[in-house]
Amino acid sequence: MAAKQKESPRPARVPLAPTAEELSAFRAAADALGAFRAQHSKGLVKKRLSPKAAEEFQQIFRGAAPAIDSRFGKTMDKNRKVRTQPDEERLMAEGSRALFDLFEAGLGASLGREAAALGVLTFYVGDYRDALHWVNEAAKLNPDDLPNTLNGAVLAVEFFEFELALRLLGEVLLESPDLKLAWSAKARALTQLKLAEEQEAADLEKRGKRDEAQALRKRAKTRPEEALSALREVVRIDPADAGAWYEFGKFLFKHGKLRESADAYGKAVALDPSMKLAWYQKGTAHQMLEQPDEAIAAFDKGLALDQRDPGGFHFRLAAMHALKGDREKAFEFIRSGLSINKPNFYSEIYKIEFGGLWSDPRWETLVAEFFADTGFQHTKAMQAELGFSWGLFDYGSALFYDSLTDAFAAAEAYRREGQTDKAREFYEKLLALLERDGHPLKARIVRGRLASLSHE
C-alpha cells in the first residue's frame, strides 16, 4: 500500500472571492465541457466512447484544476462559508455530467483526480449527494489518498454515519496528527453522535429495553469531553485562528463552562476585533457569570461595530447597567434599542437583571404598553411556568439561563394577576438556586421583589 501524503492537503489561506483569472478559467472550462458533451452526444447515448474522450476531458479539466485548488483546496471544511459564483456552479454541472458519462462508458479509471476535485467543488456549491458520489469514486481509484479519506469523513457526518466518520478520521489523524480540519471534523462528529445516541436511548426505553438504553446513555455522556479534547487540538495546532477560538468558546458556552468560554471568546476577538458575534457571546458569558463590567465592555465593542444592530446589544447593555444599579443608563439603552427593534424587547422584559426597575414609574409605563399589545404572550403565567418548570427545576442549575427568565416571568405574571402565593413560590425557588450557584446580584434583586410582595 502506498504511503499516504502527510502534508496538509489544503492551502493555508483560501481566498473568499475568485480572481478574474480564476473566473475566466471556470468559464472557459465550463464552455469547453458543454461543447465536449455536444460533440460526443451519440456516443454518450450508447455508452460507447473512445478512450481519447477521457484524455480530452482531462485536457479540458486541467485548465480549471488550479483555479479549483486555489479557491477550495482539496478538502471540505464545514466551517468555511464560501459563496460560489455562477461560473463555478456551471463548471460543476457540466463537469459532473461529462464525468458521469465517462464513468458509465467505463472510462473513469484514470480520472480519480478529476472526481476528487468535482467532489470538493460540489460540496461547496451545496450538493452533498453528488459530492459523496465523486468522493466515493475518487476513493475507489486512490484509496490511500489523504484528502479523499478526510472528505469521506466530512460527508459521513453530513449523512449521519458517525461511526464511519470517526473511523476514517482516526486513519487520517494516525497519518497526520496535526491536521486541524480533521480534529474539527472529529469534534463535530462526536457532538452529533451524542445527540443520535440519546435519541436511540430514548427509543430503546420506549420499547422497554432499559439496560441497553442506560448503557447507551453512559456512552453518550463521554462524547462532549472527547469533542472538547478535539477542539483543544484545533486551537493548539493553530492558536492564531480566530474562528477556531470562536468555535471553541461556543462549545464551552453550550456545555456550561462559562469562564473558559469567556476566555476563548476573548482570544477570538484579540485576534480579530471585528468579530461582532464573538463580542456578543463573550458579553453573554460574562453576563451569566454576573460580571457586569466585563459584559458591558464586550457589548460596547460589539455595538461599536454596528450601531444599528437589531440583535440585542442595546438591551443586553441595558440589563447590565440595571444590574449595576445605574437606572439612567439602563433606560437610555432601552430607549435606543426600542427605536431600532421594539419586538426584540418582548423576550427581554422578564430578565432578572431588570428586576430592579420594576418599581420605577418609567418601567411600569413601558411594561403596561407591552402588556396592552395582544401580540405579547409572555403575560400568561401558565406559559411562563411551563417553560420554567421543565427547565430549571428539572436541571436544577441557575446556569440554565433561559429558565431563569421563565422563573422570573412566572413570579411576576402571577403577581400581576393577584396570585401572590404562586408568585412567592417561584421567587423562593429561584432565590434558593441563585444563592446556591453564587449569583449574589441576581439573588439580591429577587430577594427585593420577594420582600416587596408582602406589602401588596
pLDDT at 456: 65
Residue 3 has a pLDDT of 38
The residue with cell 477570538 is 268
Residue 356's pLDDT is: 87
Q: Which of 218, 290, 281 has the alpha carbon at shortest distance from 248?
A: 281
Integer CA distances (angstroms), 108 to 26, 54, 99, 215, 442, in order: 22, 7, 8, 46, 67
Q: Is the dihedral of CA 121, 123, 129, 134 positive or negative?
A: positive
Whole-model pTM: value is 0.81
Cell numbers 458579553 correspond to 283
Cβ of 434: how many Cβ atoms within 10 Å? 23
- The whole-angstrom separation of Cα 38 and Cα 283 is 59
pLDDT for 411 equals 83
Whose CA is closest to 117, among 53, 62, 68, 63? 68
Q: Output the pLDDT for position 364.
A: 85
Residues 6 or more apart whose Cβ sits within 8 Å of residue 297: 283
Residue 64's closest CA among 96, 39, 105, 40? 96
- Average pLDDT by stretches of 10, the chain with 456 residues: 39 62 93 88 66 91 92 88 88 92 89 94 92 94 92 95 95 95 96 94 92 93 95 96 94 90 97 94 92 95 81 88 94 91 80 87 84 56 51 44 70 82 88 86 91 79
* Triad 251, 254, 256: Cα angle to 5°: 110
Q: Do 350 and 342 contact (CB within 8 A), yes or no?
A: no
Determine the Cα–Cα distance for residues 91 and 67; give it in Å rounded to an integer: 11
The torsion region of residue 295 among left (phi > 0), alpha (psi -120 to 50) and beta comes to: alpha
Alpha-carbon span 137 to 143, nearest angstrom? 10
Provide DSSP, 195-245: HHHHHHHHHHHHTT-HHHHHHHHHHHHHHHHHHHHHHHHHHHH-TT-HHHH
Listed by start position, the domains of the chain span 20-143
The CA–CA distances, whole Å, from 298 to 281, 303, 312 equal: 9, 9, 13
Coil, strand or helix at 350:
coil
Which three cell numbers mark 235?
A: 486551537
Closest CA to 153 of 115, 188, 126: 188
